[in-house]
Amino acid sequence: MLRYLLKKGLILLVSLWCVITGTFFLMHAIPGDPFIGDRMIPQEVMDSLYAYYGLDQPLWVQYAKYLKGILTLDLGPSIVYQGRSVNQFIQEGFPVSARVGLQALCLAIPSGVMLGTWAALKRAEWQDASAMVISTLGVSVPNFVFASLLQFIFCVKLHWLPVARWGTFAHTILPTISLAALPTAFIARLTRSNMVEVLQQDYIRTAKAKGLPLLRIAMKHGLRNALLPVISYLGPVTTQILTGSFMIEKIFAIPGLGQWMIHSIAGRDYPMILGLTIFFSCFLIVAMFIVDVVYSLIDPRIRNAN
């Protein structure tokens, strides 16, 4: 197990370095200037700005300084929002995005597993067809369309919930449902397809021959094997949800990381774009590492094969 963890940890570090290096040089290769935009700035002011942010130095020097900053967890200052650092925006925005994301995950995982298991147990019946229609709609309908529909029904027509903004728990209900729709549908489809396959295995037939109820067989013997592909899917979807969905946060005016990424792109705030991209990527890679570890604990054959 230790050898497996060390190998995965080394891959994680190399992946992080590749993401940081690739993102840094791609950002500097993009045409345009973070200071000019549509404004006319005197050359003397431009030279001062470049010197202040260290952009007048050779690219390899900037790269070395940026790596040093990352090692000290310093992602640099924002260009657009002077006097504030990228770290401050992450500290303010990530807890908000994480709160909505955790609520969405807590809703999506059990709902998707139960829906998929129910569909597998009722295979070829109307319950199976209904569950698959629901999951197909969840996968097909974009989350911003679903979010707008929820706002129209529960806010405009019924006046049950606030349309947008951030404050009480009521403000998180619709964003949570909107974020949970897609992963719920995906998890349901994955669980259903794998549960159908598991229920046809010999050890399941043996359990049925002993007279055990089908639901008990599925929950006790089949669900563990059926959830392996679901666990693999949870890595990237957890990162996507916890770091904030750009469109959902924009629609509901949530002060999370998503809105800062949109604002930084619109304002050509290169340090902000670079810092948030690296933060998202690091979060994804770490999440995938955790998923690999959990996967190996559930199925020891994986770590033995490595």
Quick count: other Cβ atoms within 10 Å of Cβ 188? 29
- pLDDT confidence of residue 302: 59
pTM: 0.78
Task: Identify the residue with better confidence: 266 or 249.
Answer: 249
Burial of 92 (0-12, 13-18, 19+ CB in 10 A): middle
pLDDT tens digit string along 53-68? Answer: 777 788 888 888 888 8
Rounded-to-integer distance, Cα 149 and Cα 144, Å: 9
- Residue spans of the domains in the chain: they are 97-272
40 pLDDT exceeds 70? no
User: Which whole number is the average pLDDT over 144-151?
Assistant: 89
Q: Per this entry, what is the length of the chain?
A: 306
CATH fold of 97-272, please?
Answer: MetI-like fold (1.10.3720)
| Identity of the highest mean pLDDT range in 25-39, 142-156, 225-239, 275-289 | 142-156
pLDDT band at residue 305 using 50, 70 and 90 as cut-offs: low
Task: Identify the residue with better confidence: 243 or 113.
Answer: 113
221 pLDDT exceeds 80? no
Quick count: other Cβ atoms within 10 Å of Cβ 5? 14
Where do we find the tokens 């792109």?
Answer: 265
Query: What is Dmax (Cα atoms) for the chain?
Result: 86
pLDDT band at residue 246 using 50, 70 and 90 as cut-offs: confident
The answer to whether 250 and 258 have CB atoms below 8 angstroms apart is yes
Mean pLDDT of the chain: 81
Q: What is the CA radius of gyration of the chain?
A: 24
